Amino acid sequence: MAHPLFDISGRTALVTGSSRGIGLALARGLAEAGCTVVLNGRDAERLTKAASELPGDVHTVVFDVTDGPSVAAGIADVEERVGPLDILVNNAGMQLRAPLLEFTDADWHRILNTNLTSAFLVGREAARRMTERGHGKIVNICSLQSEVVRPGIAPYAATKGALKMLTKGMCADWGPHGVQVNGLGPGYIETELTRPLVDDEEFSAWVRRRTPAGRWGRTDDLVGGALFLASPAADFVSGQVLYVDGGMTSVL
Ligand code: NDP
């Protein structure tokens, strides 16, 4: 039997950007741990299909995480329809690869809104309620690029570096009201977001060589860390980023 500190059954969890990839794997992990899970994305049909493949009590809510009024309405709808949120995973995100000199203003704002402003908007709406109730767990999906960067992804790294600092700020503001906020920092994980890199044999081999674990990450590799940060075992853990990267950020 699992230690009771890791028991999160009966909690309600929202995972943003969970129609596929890391978000869907984390949602499945939370559902398997006995949580009531709410999937989020921008496409209702995709979400319904994803929800049908998960066990337990699974719901969906459609909103664009970059749109403040939709976020506010979406969180209110979840709380009314499903129940008080105990756990929020700010996972929705995107990648745009281009040399910085060729990066357009529109793309800058798009990636900033999707990867950073989203966590502020969704986090604020959830935390309004969590702080009032005196408990809650928020997990912001950061990245190994919260720490290090490669050519061609400076804006992405800037959003993820800032998300790490936003995590610490949320911890400072909401910790006194019983809400713990942490980051989970994936390394290179095979998803649609990294498809061009996986398909690039040279780059793909570089990732395997460069990662002490000797392989690309799988979405399921992230589940244990997320469940820990969402559980009572992490009640005194806040403002941290847990890197799940096969060791990559630790070695040259
Ligand atoms: P995917 O591209 O596979 O999935 C992204 C998810 O986010 C989709 O479900 C998409 O749903 C949703 N999404 C995107 N934009 C919005 C939006 N504006 N509003 C609501 N939902 C949105 O990416 P990954 O699973 O790879 O990445 C998930 C997170 O993990 C991201 O934050 C990413 O930066 C981070 N990460 C990923 C790494 C990797 O190697 N894969 C490494 C480090 C961090 P839909 O299109 O249906 O709306």
pLDDT, one tens digit per residue, over 25-72 is 999 999 999 999 999 999 999 999 999 999 999 999 999 999 999 999
pLDDT at 252 over 90: no
3-state secondary structure 136-188: EEEEEECCHHHCCCCCCCHHHHHHHHHHHHHHHHHHHHHHHHCEEEEEEEECC
The finding on whether 188 has its CB within 6 A of some atom of ligand 1 is: yes
Q: What is the DSSP letter of 114?
A: I
Question: What is the pTM (predicted TM-score) of this model?
Answer: 0.99
Please answer whether residues 245 and 144 qualify as being in contact, where contact means their C-beta atoms are separated by less than 8 angstroms: yes
Tens of pLDDT along 149-168? 999 999 999 999 999 999 99
For 204-218, write each residue's pLDDT tens digit. 999 999 999 999 999
Could you tell me the residue ranges of all domains in the chain?
Answer: 4-192+220-240
Contact 45/243 with Cβ under 8 angstroms? no
Dihedral (CA of 45, 63, 235, 242) sign = positive
Quick: pLDDT tens for 7-28. Answer: 999 999 999 999 999 999 999 9
User: Which CATH architecture does the domain made up of 4-192+220-240 adopt?
Assistant: 3-Layer(aba) Sandwich (3.40)
CA atoms of 36 and 41, how far apart (whole Å)? 17
Q: Is 34 exposed, middle or buried (0-12, 13-18, 19+ CB in 10 A)?
A: middle
Nearest-atom number in ligand 1 for the CA of 18 is 9
CB of residue 123 inside a 6 A radius of ligand 1? no
> Is the model's pLDDT at 2 over the cut of 90?
no
β-partners of residue 184 are 141, 242
ipTM of the complex as predicted = 0.99
- The pLDDT of 105-113, averaged and rounded, is 98
* Assigned token pair, 179: 């809400």
Q: Which positions are catalytic? A: 156
Residue nearest to atom 39 of ligand 1 (CA): 189
Indicate which residue's Cα is closest to atom 33 of ligand 1: 93
Q: Whose CA is closest to atom 34 on ligand 1?
A: 93
- E-only strand ranges, the chain: 12-15, 36-41, 58-62, 87-90, 136-141, 179-186, 241-244
Q: In terms of DSSP bridges, do strands 12-15 and 136-141 run parallel, antiparallel, or are they unpaired?
A: unpaired
Evaluate: CB of 191 within 6 angstroms of ligand 1: yes
Ligand 1 lined by 64 (C-beta under 6 Å): yes
Closest C-alpha to 29, from 222, 251, 233:
222
Instruction: Evaluate if residue 231 carries a pLDDT over 90.
Output: yes
